[in-house]
Structure 1
Amino acid sequence: MGKVTVKNLGKAYKTYSGRWARLAEWILPFVKPRHQLHWVLQEIDFQLEAGEAVGIVGINGAGKSTLLKLIAGTTQATTGTIDIQGRVSALLELGMGFHPDFTGRQNAVMAGQLQGLRADEIEKLMPAIEAFAEIGDYIDQPVRTYSSGMQMRLAFSVATANRPDVLIVDEALSVGDAYFQHKSFERIREFRRAGTTLLIVSHDRYAIQTICDRAILLNRGRLEMQGDPVEVMDFYNAMLAEKEQQTVRQERLADGRLRTISGTGEASISSVTLLSDEGKQLDVVEVGTYVTLEVRVAINTPVTRLVMGYMIKDKLGQSIFGINSHRLGMPQTDLLPGEELIYRCRFPVNLGKGSYSVAISLSRLDSHLDTNYEWRDYSVIFHVINTLSPDFVGCAFLDAEMAIERPRSSQNVNIDEVAA
């Protein structure tokens, strides 16, 4: 149970030139239509296997929330079909369906009934709902007195009180405090381990890459891309920086990874190399060793200001460390075509064992979202090994020291007395 199949899905809304056109069409339904169709979604095809977690990403207006509403059944499709096997629970718009004048408890009961739960089932689940929401006496206060975070707490607690076959979560989890966000995602992970199929919309790269098996990118109501979460999120981030005359492309590397390159091209990356202090090119690095990241940049057209930045990521695409020349107070200005810049960034590889990649950014200001000359993922891939340091656990090597003190008083205790 929990399989979802979407075929040729489309959603369009009628738009009229004015209210009289709407009235005329209603009175005279057999004459020429007086409306136009505005398509929010078109030709959406994908499938979720039972127990799979899929993230949906895209800029505002791409159709993400509409897609979730169609799958949840709160709105009807114009074209296509949706086949769902199993019980669905959806957390869409914040507090959607809550009556502001009813108490949290009353709203929880009504929401449970809408999910198909019986009165006795809701009564058994109510203590768990209250405990997870952690809103105290507010559970018996009108919802209109709740903050947005409290509404989200109650809505999520009700939606997940009884593990569904399919869980649909919109961006509502971005509201509220960090504690409850962490708590909510842990419950989602528990559901995943138990076999729940998950469909989630989030702008949080960490959430998509750590929770989801696959990601879907929507662009202007169409399915732009689907696949590995890291590759989809890299392409999505490149789209965010896309402006007039800027290109976004992807190329497959020898190891099978998909590299995303975007930018306007005024400045471009000629080469990126990871070097030892002896000048030897590296792809395997010992923990704690100092290395130099050498980035060569070509200036193609006049550039008034240039900032180079690099980001080290782990194999899941999580950001480990990033810095740029703007934050270091070293931006370059008034560059001319034909010039070349060589950046050398030296740092110790205080990382845990594993595979890492380096993304390079050339931009005008602190962020590549403002005048992105070039953004290149997987510019360098290297592996960290540990043969000289203690066998530590984690992603950061802190080279910790340990001291142990054993006071004489404890050494002089008679063992027989302790045993007695």
Structure 2
Amino acid sequence: MSQSPHQQSETQSTTHTRPKPLLEIRELGKAYRRYPNELMRVASWFSAIKPLEETWILRDVNFDIAQGEAVGIVGQNGAGKSTLLKMITGTLRPTEGYIRTHGRVAAILELGMGFNGELTGRQNVLHSAGLMGFTHAQIDDAMEDIEAFAEIGDYFDQPMRVYSSGMQMRVAFSVATAFRPEVLIVDEALSVGDAYFQHKSFDRIREFQRQGTSLLIVSHDKAAIQSLCDRAILLDQGRVLEDGLPQDIMDYYNAIIAQKENAKVEITPLDSGQIQTRSGSGEASVKQISLHATNGNALDVVDVGQPVELRIEVAIHADLPELVAGYKLKDRVGQDVFGTNTWHTHQVERQLNAGETLTYCLRFNANLGPGSYSVSLSLHRSDTHLTHNYQWIDHALVFQMVNMEKDFFLGTSWVMPTIQCERKTAKSSAPNESV
């Protein structure tokens, strides 16, 4: 089967000193055009005929994915994420630009796409894997592993129309990953599965990454993006708005959402190389944040388990009906460690006047593992209908945890148990006497 010039696959070795990306996207765009009639549409394939209407879904998209790299695609509904994936997999033709893939691409897009409800799971595996280019002998060799990984029991030989959405996802993932691809594309489908299978799927994805597979994942799950991906790309209205570290992109993404509520957004590079995002209406703001020991000394290095006090000074710039203050601790890759706010602790401040200053003192034991942590802050108004953002600050404070006294442990939390072991000696039984 010949390939279109927009979708090329190259597996030959290269003499370049820098490894060739497994996926190259250049000046990619997709438009839907409306013509007066079908004849004019056909004629537009051979000559420049102006359409009645032209709607661009994607425009001027450029990025590469290297071998073994994991890239997340994030953006609001309508940003063009699904259209991008369909063009990469070849189910949609780009209007402009090109895509080059170097190796085999496997994709898990729309749940159950390509499955026939009247066929059994086994028959659908034969059909789907055949469309992926594998021979009947190759599929037969892999069938036992596919069935075992899906773990749907006797349903594997029943019509797929009786499957739940989670069972369909299990079969779809199992067949898509039965043979390690060079590029694996995963849409939101994994969010349908149960927690057990999600963990199992992510373990397989990580194993593929260790073997050199590149990953392209679309998800609104912040934890999945930050735990799996090396970088993330933010799409907005069909264009690449930002490409960077996952935690920075997710913070920026949240700020863009806040901006739609007429909030101001400020992006500031930090000395650490991270990006600080501030957003909000500005009716209240954080004047100062600091971390202290119990004797009052300021801290930027904290011992595991040490009692600390987080001080937050807030300035009120307008008369406010109420104020909720919140904080969140994140680890070095942006994963949430702990967070709460004064709405949940039943300490909402009400009827504030412009010019007032509030000082919050948060005392806790730093039962965290060694490593770098950051504090994010939020000031907002909450009620049953609306959360109004006065100010949100990511990376408002960064501090380092060290273990100077505790026994060695792994992880981001220090929850050392008391270990008790009961040991019994096996009793030997006397041999039976002969009669």
Among residues 214, 221, 225, which one is paired with 2:238 in the alignment? 221
Is residue 51–residue 195 contact of structure 1 (8 Å, CA) maintained in 2?
yes
Q: Distance in 2 between matches of 1:58 and 1:335?
A: 36
Q: Distance in 2 between matches of 1:28 and 1:162?
A: 42
> How do residues 303-314 of structure 1 correspond to structure 2 at under 5 angstroms?
303-314=320-331
Q: RMSD between aligned alpha carbons?
A: 2.2
In the alignment, structure 1 residue 149 sits paired with structure 2 residue 166: yes
Amino acid at match of 1:9: L
Q: Distance in 1 between matches of 2:48 and 2:423?
A: 95
Q: Distance in 2 between matches of 1:28 and 1:222?
A: 29
TM-fit CA distance, 1:243: 2.6
CA offset digits 1:312-342 (Å, max 9, x no partner): 1111111111110000000111111111111
Match of residue 73 from structure 1: 90
Cα 1:116–1:400 change in 2 (3 A) is same
Among residues 21, 24, 27, which one is paired with 1:5 in the alignment? 24
CA offset digits 1:97-125 (Å, max 9, x no partner): 11122221111111101111011111111
Cα 1:7–1:136 change in 2 (3 A) is same
> How do residues 46-65 of structure 1 correspond to structure 2 at under 5 angstroms?
46-65=63-82
Q: Secondary structure at the match of 1:86?
A: coil
Q: Distance in 2 between matches of 1:28 and 1:381?
A: 61
In the alignment, structure 1 residue 257 sits paired with structure 2 residue 274: yes
Is residue 25–residue 31 contact of structure 1 (8 Å, CA) maintained in 2?
no
Amino acid at match of 2:230: D
Is residue 356–residue 382 contact of structure 1 (8 Å, CA) maintained in 2?
yes
Q: Which 5+ residue runs of structure 2 have no aligned equivalent?
A: 1-10, 12-20, 429-435
Q: Secondary structure at the match of 1:73?
A: coil
> How do residues 156-175 of structure 1 correspond to structure 2 at under 5 angstroms?
156-175=173-192
Q: Secondary structure at the match of 1:327?
A: coil
Per the normalisation by structure 2, the TM-score is 0.89
Q: Distance in 1 between matches of 2:34 and 2:387?
A: 35
TM-fit CA distance, 1:237: 1.9
TM-fit CA distance, 1:403: 4.4
Cα 1:312–1:366 change in 2 (3 A) is farther
> How do residues 2-401 of structure 1 correspond to structure 2 at under 5 angstroms?
3-15=22-34, 21-22=36-37, 25=40, 33-365=50-382, 370-401=387-418
Q: Secondary structure at the match of 1:352?
A: coil
Structure 1, 233-242 or 313-322: larger mean CA deviation: 233-242
Cα 1:15–1:271 change in 2 (3 A) is farther
Is residue 25–residue 33 contact of structure 1 (8 Å, CA) maintained in 2?
no
Cα 1:27–1:349 change in 2 (3 A) is closer
Per the normalisation by structure 1, the TM-score is 0.92
Q: Distance in 2 between matches of 1:76 and 1:154?
A: 27
Structure 1, 28-37 or 289-298: larger mean CA deviation: 28-37
Cα 1:405–1:226 change in 2 (3 A) is same
Amino acid at match of 2:272: D
TM-fit CA distance, 1:24: 7.1
Q: Distance in 2 between matches of 1:406 and 1:77?
A: 68
Cα 1:22–1:128 change in 2 (3 A) is same
Is residue 11–residue 39 contact of structure 1 (8 Å, CA) maintained in 2?
yes
Amino acid at match of 1:334: Q
TM-fit CA distance, 1:28: 8.0
Q: Secondary structure at the match of 1:364?
A: strand
TM-fit CA distance, 1:389: 2.2
Is residue 33–residue 51 contact of structure 2 (8 Å, CA) maintained in 1?
no
Q: Distance in 2 between matches of 1:324 and 1:406?
A: 46
Cα 1:105–1:350 change in 2 (3 A) is same
Q: Distance in 2 between matches of 1:195 and 1:314?
A: 26
Is residue 241–residue 370 contact of structure 1 (8 Å, CA) maintained in 2?
no
Q: Distance in 1 between matches of 2:42 and 2:59?
A: 30
Cα 1:333–1:131 change in 2 (3 A) is same
CA offset digits 1:256-284 (Å, max 9, x no partner): 22111111111111111111122111101
Cα 1:342–1:122 change in 2 (3 A) is same
Is residue 326–residue 366 contact of structure 1 (8 Å, CA) maintained in 2?
no
Cα 1:27–1:48 change in 2 (3 A) is closer
Cα 1:109–1:399 change in 2 (3 A) is closer
Amino acid at match of 1:10: G
Q: Distance in 2 between matches of 1:34 and 1:224?
A: 28
Is residue 293–residue 308 contact of structure 2 (8 Å, CA) maintained in 1?
yes
Amino acid at match of 1:8: E
Cα 1:26–1:9 change in 2 (3 A) is closer
Amino acid at match of 1:12: A
Cα 1:121–1:248 change in 2 (3 A) is same
TM-fit CA distance, 1:290: 1.0
CA offset digits 1:227-259 (Å, max 9, x no partner): 111111111122233334312221111222211
Q: Which 5+ residue runs of structure 1 have no aligned equivalent?
A: 415-420
Amino acid at match of 1:36: E
Q: Distance in 2 between matches of 1:89 and 1:98?
A: 16
